[in-house]
Amino acid sequence: MPSASSPNTSPGANAPVASSADCQTSLMQRFGVPDTDAHQLEQRFLERLLAEHQGNVSRAAAASGIARRHLQRLRAKSG
C-alpha cells in the first residue's frame, strides 16, 4: 500500500482532463464528420428529444442520460 506521501502512480493520474468540446472535436476528426453535419445532427437530436418530452428539459435529460445543465447549454448553443 503506498504511503500518503508517495506520488500517485496509477495510469493517467497526471493526464489532463479533456473538455466535452475537445472530445467532440476529436471524434468528428477521427470519423471524418464535417462540422456542419455534426452540428445538424446535434440540433436534430435535441429537437427530437425535447419534442418527445414536450419541451421538458429535466425529463429529456433524464431519459437521454445527459446532465440537465449540459442539455441546457446545448440548447443555448444551438439557438
* The CATH number of domain 35-78 is 1.10.10: yes
Residue 3 has pLDDT above 70, yes or no: no
Residues 6+ apart with CB under 8 A from 60: 49, 50, 52, 53, 66, 71
Residue 68 has pLDDT above 90, yes or no: yes
Burial level of 43, CB count in 10 A (0-12/13-18/19+)?
middle
Is-above-0.75 flag for pTM?
no
For residues 28 and 35, give the distance between their C-alpha atoms in angstroms, rounded to a whole number.
7
Domain locations in the chain as residue ranges? 35-78
